[in-house]
Amino acid sequence: MKSKKLSETIIKNFKNNGFVLSEPDVLLDSDYIIERSGEKFRNSMLTFDREDGKTMCLRPDLTVASCISFLQKKTSSKIYYSGQAYRRSGKGTNFINDQLGIEILGSKNQIHDDFKIISTILSSAKKIKRKKILIKVGDISLFKSLINALDMPERWKLRLIRHFWRPSYFEELLKRLEKNTDIDAVTFDTDKKRFYEMKKEDQDKVVAGRSISEILKRFDKKIKDPRSFVDGKKIVKIIKSFLKINCKLSELDERLLDFAKKNNLKKNIFKDFKSILNLKKLKQDINFIANFGRDVEYYTGIVFEVFSGKKEIARGGRYDDLLKSLGAKKNIPAVGAAINLKNI
C-alpha cells in the first residue's frame, strides 16, 4: 500500500510537469536490440524462443523500450512510464526492476530539457524522501571534447571515446597508449582487408548499431593514421588528470579553466558544458565527477544520480545517438531518467 501511494505521488508530479503516459512493449525482439544497440545487453537479457524460431526477450531497459515504442508507434515526445525492466544483474536472483521514469524524445533545447528532467526527478524525490538529497553529475561530452582536442592519432581518439564506458578495458588502452603499444601488423592488415570487403556491401546495412558507411569511415581513419606515436605518456597523464576532477558544482568552471591552463589547452575546450552549469539554479548539493556515468554505453552528454542518504533512488542522462541506433534515419536528441522504486 505504501509503495502504491508513493508511486501515485511521483506520477502526479510527472503529469503536473507535462509528461504523458507511455506503455512500451514488455516483449521485444532480442536480435533487434543486440544488432542495433551493441552487445552490452546480451548477457543480461532474459530470452526465449518463439514457435517460429524468433528469439524474444523481456525488456531489459525501459529507456530502450520507450525509444522503440516512440519510433514504431509515434507516441508523444514527452513521456512518463511506470513498469518493470527484466535483466540479470550478477548481484543476485532479483531480475525485476520496478521503475518510474520520464523521457524527452526529440529534445529541441538541450539546456532546458536537461534541466527539466533533473528538476522533475529531484522534486519527485523530495516529495517521497525526508533524508538529505544529493546529486552526482558528470558529462560524457566533456570527455569527448577533451579527447578530440588532444594531439594524437585519430585511431586512438576513436578507441578511447568508443570504449570509455568499459572502465577496465579503457585502462588497458591507456597503458598501451602510454607505452606506444599499438595494434600489431597482423591486426592492421586484417582491418585493411575487411575495409575493402565492406566497401562492396550495402552501405545502409546496420551492424552492432552502426551502418556500414559509418564503420567504413572509422576504418578509413584507422588505416590512414601514422603507426608511430611518441607522446602517449604525456597524453595519458592529461586524460588521467581530467578524470580525477571531483568538485562541487560551484567550483567546476574554475577547475576546468585551471585544468586547461595547466595542460596548455584552449580556454574554450569545454564550451559545451552549459547544461551542467545551468543546474546551479536548483540550489541543491551537486557534486561534479569527471569519471562518472560510464556504465551505460548509450549516454552521450549529461549523466546524473540522485541519492537519499546512501541510497541511489534515481539516475538518468542524455542519449542523443540511441534512437538512430534503434532505426531512426538521423540522430534524435533525447534525455531521460528513472526512479528505482526498490530503493524508496
Domain that includes residue 61, residue range: 1-130+336-344
Q: How many domains does the chain have?
A: 2
Q: Is 74 within a domain?
A: yes
**Predicted local confidence at residue 78, as pLDDT:** 94
pLDDT one digit per residue (tens) for the chain, 344 residues:
457 888 899 999 999 999 999 999 999 888 887 776 666 667 778 888 888 888 898 988 899 899 999 998 776 789 999 988 887 766 555 678 888 999 999 988 999 999 999 999 999 988 887 678 899 999 999 999 999 999 888 888 988 998 998 889 999 999 988 877 665 444 555 666 776 777 778 887 776 666 778 777 776 666 555 555 668 889 999 999 999 999 999 999 899 999 999 999 988 888 778 888 899 999 888 999 999 988 778 899 999 999 988 888 999 999 999 898 888 888 899 999 999 888 87
Query: Are 112 and 9 members of one domain?
Result: yes
Distance, CA of 175 to CA of 205 (rounded, Å): 34
Q: Is 118 within a domain?
A: yes
Distance, CA of 304 to CA of 288 (rounded, Å): 9
Left if phi > 0, otherwise alpha if psi is -120 to 50, otherwise beta: which for 197?
alpha
CA angle 59, 170, 250 (to 5 degrees): 85
pTM of the full structure = 0.81
| End position of a domain, from candidates 185, 214, 244 | 244
Query: Are 220 and 104 members of one domain?
Result: no
Query: Are 163 and 112 members of one domain?
Result: no
The torsion angles phi and psi of 57, rounded to 5 degrees, stand at -145, 155
DSSP state of 109: -
| End position of a domain, from candidates 244, 260, 275 | 244
**Predicted local confidence at residue 333, as pLDDT:** 94
Burial class (CB in 10 A: 0-12, 13-18, 19+), 121: buried
Half-sphere exposure (Cβ direction) of 200: Cα atoms closer than 13 Å: 4
Query: Are 237 and 343 members of one domain?
Result: no
Q: Is 97 within a domain?
A: yes
Map grid coordinates 531512426 to a residue.
328
Query: Are 3 and 100 members of one domain?
Result: yes
